[in-house]
Amino acid sequence: MPQITYREAIRHALAEELTRDPNVVVMGEEVAQFNGAYKVTDGLLATFGPTRIVDTPISEAGFIGLGVGASMLGIRPVMELMFWSFYSVAFDQILNNAANVRYMSGGQINCPIVIRGPANGGTNVGATHSHTPENVLANHPGVKVVVPATAYDAKGLLKSAIRDNDPVFFLENTILYGDKGEVPEAEYVIPLGKADVKRVGADLTIVTYGRCVIHSLKAAEVLEKDHGISVEVVDLRTIRPLDFDTVLASVKKTNRVLIVEEQKPFASVGTQLAYMIQREAFDDLDGPIHRLATIDAPAIYSPPVETEQLPNPGRVIKAVLAAMA
């Protein structure tokens, strides 16, 4: 099976869906002539032309709102946010209009829009560019939220997202863009709302998603080798809809849970998970639910310190040992 990068996997998904459905339009800042700020859309303009691959001004509220409006008439816009951090300037369009218009119209309208782009810290760009808003987004009924960790997942999930009839917010990761993984040449899709057990284990379940999956897998290897602890890693892949059955099955098997997330702790995705686990698996737990999150402060710039502010394999190992103690 060919190895391609996470970036290429997303590009292939875009290209396949652009080919399959003439209503799909890719739109965003620098996506066309510049070939993408992070080169995700590299070459798409040459293949599909300026009607399908559209450069926008730096005007997130304007162009995201335009995409929402166009989606009400059946266009399937795939909007790139250069950083998901910029969602704050388009908040009204994303979370009032896209999220609510179906409900407020009594189900007469749907918005088949995808908004995608990177949402991560760890690149020393400071607090304004390092937001991870998946909890904020998922707090809004009506939207779907996807956070892929691997090239294979990114491609299959993005194809599903583009075909979905609800608004889907797709959160990528600049640090993962260059990571290679096996991706089949034959077409495939991965349904939204389906978690994936990335590593089978017996002693403790790590529930995680996004780049923290990679940290957790690295930590799990060390824990197995150095400490004899067998860790199961459950990758949620989609935050909403949530495949809680897979989480529950793993927790009932290992009886111990650590949630790992690149989120600020207060009211995070992990907060919701912890509530649900205690509610539905209380008697299966051999200890309290543990969580490893980003250290609770705005993203620090200082490069070596930012690495320590975020979850990383070393911090995951410590957190697992604490949970097993």
253, 281 Cβ separation under 8 angstroms: no
User: Which residues, including other chains, have CB under 8 Å from residue 303's CB and lie 6 or more apart?
Assistant: 124
Residues facing 32 on adjacent strands: none
Q: Are 53 and 26 in contact (CB under 8 A)?
A: yes
Q: Which is nearer to another protein, 2 or 191 (CB)?
A: 191
Q: Residue 36 or residue 65: which is nearer to another protein going by CB?
A: 65
Q: What is the 3-state secondary structure (H, E, C) of 267-300?
A: CCHHHHHHHHHHHHHHHHCCCCCEEECCCCCCCC
The reply to whether 129 belongs to the active site is: yes
Integer-rounded Cα radius of gyration of the chain:
19
Residue 69's Cα: distance from chain center in Å?
Answer: 24
Catalytic residue (one of 8, 60, 80, 306): 60
Single out the catalytic residue among 8, 12, 17, 129: 129
> For residue 265, what are the CA distances in angstroms to 38, 101, 163, 290?
28, 30, 33, 12
Nearer to another protein, 141 or 304 (CB): 141
Instruction: Estimate to the nearest angstrom the gap between the alpha carbon of 254 and the chain centroid.
Output: 25
Instruction: Please identify, using beta-carbon distances, which residue of 7 and 52 lies nearer to another protein.
Output: 52
Query: Least distance (Å) from another protein to the CB of residue 6?
Result: 22
AA letter at 91: F
Q: Which residues are near another protein by CB under 8 A?
A: 25, 51, 56-57, 59, 61-75, 92-93, 96-97, 101-110, 141-142, 144, 160, 163-166, 191-195, 238, 240-245, 272, 276
Instruction: Check if 140 is active-site.
Output: no
- What CA–CA distance (Å, rounded) separates 166 from 43? 28
Positive or negative torsion for Cα 258, 261, 265, 269: negative
DSSP H helices in 116-210:
134-138, 151-163
Give whichever of 70 and 125 is closer to another protein, judged by the CB atom: 70
Active-site annotation, residues: 60, 129
